[in-house]
Chains A and B, each alone.
Chain A
Amino acid sequence: MLEYHIDFQGQSRAEVITQGLITTFGVVGFLVGLVLQDIRLSLFIFAAGIVLAGLLVIPAWPYLNKNPVKWLPSRAKAALEQEKSTVSSSSTGSEKEKVA
C-alpha cells in the first residue's frame, strides 16, 4: 500500500501547518473579499490555501521525516548474530541465557 509514513515530530508539524495555513488563508481571503467586495476572489484565496497545505503536507517530504524513531535492535536478530559468532559452542539450550 501507498502509506508514506512520517515520524512523530513530522506529524505534529504537519498538523500545525495544515491548520495554520488554511486558517490564515481563510482570514486573508475574507478580508480581501470584504475590502474589494468580491466573493469569488475570497473563495479563490481560500482554495489556494487548501491546495498549498495539501502540497506541503500530504506527500512524505523529507522535512517531515527528520527525526525517525530509533528502535532497539531486534532480539531475535541479535541472538542469531551472536550464535553465528559463537558457532564453536553448539549448545542450543544455553541460547536463552545469552539473549537475556
Chain B
Amino acid sequence: MNSLQNRANSVMAFSLSAIFCLLGAIALSALLIPSHPSGSVALDSIKVVTGRYDKNWVDYKTRDNQFANTVMKIDADLSSLFHWNTKQLFVYAVAEYSTKSHPKNQIVLWDSIIKRKSDAVIKKQNINNKYSLIDVNRKWTDVEANVTLHWNIVPYVGFMTYGHSQSSGGYAFPLPSGIQK
C-alpha cells in the first residue's frame, strides 16, 4: 500500500473479491424467498388432421402423418416468482403422454417469455398450439395426454429454477377428421 498504483490495485482486488461474495449471497437468497405460483392449462378441443410431415421438410411419400391441433386455455398467476433476482420467466405448456413404443413423451405446445411482474398474470383463451403436435410414430391411436404449465425462472445471477403446475389431464386424441393444408 505504499505507492499510488499499489493502493489502487489493492482497492480493485479487494472489491473484486467482495463483489463475488455479494453476488453469491444474492444467488443464495433467491433460493430462500418464498413464492406461491399457481397455474393451469386446459385443452378446450383437440382435432387430429393428416398432412405432410413438415412445411420445410417435405415428405412427398406420404400425406397421412397425424397432427393434433389443440385449443388451449391458460390461467396462471406467476407474479410471486418475480423477486429481486428474477430477470425473466420462461413459461411453457407441455403435453405428456405415453405410447407402447415410447413410455415418456413430452411436447411443448406453447411458450412465452415474461419480462415484467405486471405481465405475470396470464389469462388467455383460444390459444392454438404454437408448435406442431405430432408423435414420433406420426399416429395418434390410443393416446391420452396430460397438459402441464411449466415455468423457469431466469435469474440475474445464480441458479435457474424450475416449477410446474399440477397436470390437468387425460385428454384422449380423436380419430383424424380433416386434412392439414
Chain A positions near chain B (C-beta within 8 angstroms): 2-6, 10-12, 14-15, 18-19, 22-23, 26, 29-30, 33-34, 36-39, 42-43, 46, 49-50, 53-54, 57-60
Contact = CB atoms under 8 A, between A and B. Distances in A.
Contacts of B85: 39
User: Which residue, B5, B19, B84, B157, has most C-beta atoms of chain A within 10 A?
Assistant: B84
A6 B18 contact: no
Contact of B4 (A4, A26, A38): A4
B83 interface: yes
A38 B84 contact: yes
Contacts of B98: none
A75 B114 CA distance: 78
A33 B11 contact: no
A14 B7 contact: yes
Interface of B: 1-5, 7-8, 10-11, 14-15, 18-19, 21-22, 25-26, 29, 83-85, 156-157
Given A6-B1, A14-B7, A30-B26, A23 B84 contact: no
Given A14-B1, A23-B18, A34-B84, 19 more contacts: A3-B4, A5-B2, A6-B2, A12-B1, A18-B10, A18-B11, A18-B14, A30-B26, A30-B29, A33-B84, A39-B26, A39-B84, A43-B22, A46-B22, A57-B1, A57-B7, A57-B11, A58-B11, A59-B4
Interface of A is mostly: helix
Interface of B is mostly: helix
B18 A58 contact: no
Nearest to B8: A58
B14 to A, nearest CB: 6
Nearest to A54: B11
Contacts of B2: 5-6, 11
Contacts of B3: 3-5
Contacts of A54: 8, 11
B4 A19 contact: no
24 contacts: A2-B4, A3-B4, A6-B2, A10-B1, A11-B1, A12-B1, A14-B1, A14-B7, A15-B10, A19-B14, A22-B15, A26-B19, A26-B22, A30-B29, A33-B26, A33-B84, A34-B84, A39-B26, A39-B84, A46-B22, A50-B15, A53-B11, A57-B7, A58-B8
A58 B22 contact: no
A36 B83 CA distance: 10
